[in-house]
Structure 1
């Protein structure tokens, strides 16, 4: 079966992008390099980052592309390669990657989902912001520093207590613990 991507001009997409070695913490250990990689590519090939969370070994984000543009694949390729070039070459590289002159930093593929409507959009924004809690990095989404939740709170789009119910001492979004 051939994999097919949705190419929609000006589309809004949810992405999950993973490191090849999921035990590594390269993304948060090198957060400034990752931010610079995003900024550099955004300048050359504009797109809007609607929401994002960066965890040690993967990230989730929602992008909106320019009105006539469909090429998120090129942007991801450039972001990944820009980030990788800034890291020392000390990772294990298997024969296949070596023969293709690839680094062993990122998984080749990524998950993308075309956002269908406002409800779908908000569900994915919530998923992004709650992800550090889901993975056990923090008890409250606001406590994770590498998240657009801080922008959403600053802009009055969500409350600073979003995702946590102080009265019952449990996470109020997602699964109970």
Structure 2
């Protein structure tokens, strides 16, 4: 990880390394609670899993919150995190924009006037994970997000998180989430 001029490490650096494992946070434009409705959170969870499968990435964990997403993912060997997240954000925006209610659309402020297709803040935070300890710290952070927000008492009880799949044996460190099984469950809910 690159350092600042005074030697302190940057907190967020989007990794340029192909095949890297990264902790990603991406936020809706103006922090609009685009995923407050259950059907929108369902759509986002399916999109994350479907795209990980489509682009042959290892998805380790994810959570869909009302105005942001977190996920821990290993990119395909020949691709970097910027390439992958750009596609995932574009695909989810394409699915989500037509599903927004007029009230939800009106919540996007004047920034959206510049581009009617804007959905996400222009950037994302992607930190490369280089140790097992950091990996599990970030996975815990992802899975505890809905608990810290007061939505559930136990992380496995939040439907829009991968924690329940970890708890049911659909996660393996070497292979990530079993995307076929997870997607099958998500599409029947």
Given the two structures, how large is their TM-score scaled by the length of structure 1?
0.72
Structure 2 residue aligned with 1:81 = 93
Instruction: Map 1:30-49; keep pairs closer than 5 Å.
Output: 30-42=40-52, 44-49=54-59
Q: Which has the higher contact order (CA 8 A, sep 6+)?
A: 2
Deviation at 1:99, TM superposition (A): 3.3
Larger Rg: 1
Deviation at 1:114, TM superposition (A): 0.6
1:142 is aligned, of 153, 156, 167, to 156
Q: Distance in 2 between matches of 1:124 and 1:13?
A: 9
State whether structure 2 residue 32 is matched by structure 1 residue 17: no
Q: Normalized per residue, which structure has more helix?
A: 2
Structure 2 residue aligned with 1:154 = 168
Q: Distance in 1 between matches of 2:139 and 2:111?
A: 36
Structure 2 residue aligned with 1:26 = 35
Deviates more, 1:52-61 or 1:71-80: 71-80
Instruction: Map 1:85-100; keep pairs closer than 5 Å.
Output: 85-88=97-100, 90=102, 91-92=105-106, 93-100=108-115
Query: Closer, same or farther in 2 for the Cα pair 1:43/1:60, shift >3 Å?
Result: closer
1:102 is aligned, of 98, 110, 117, to 117
Deviation readout 1:15-36 (Å, 9 max, x if unpaired): 1122224352525531332234
Structure 1 residue aligned with 2:74 = 64
CA contact (8 A) 2:18 2:76 kept: yes
Q: Distance in 1 between matches of 2:120 and 2:66?
A: 13
Structure 2 residue aligned with 1:174 = none
Q: Distance in 1 between matches of 2:96 and 2:76?
A: 26
CA contact (8 A) 1:80 1:106 kept: no
Query: Closer, same or farther in 2 for the Cα pair 1:73/1:149, shift >3 Å?
Result: closer
Regions of 4+ moved over 4 Å: 93-96
Q: Distance in 2 between matches of 1:131 and 1:35?
A: 15
Q: What is the CA RMSD across the aligned residues, in angstroms? A: 2.8
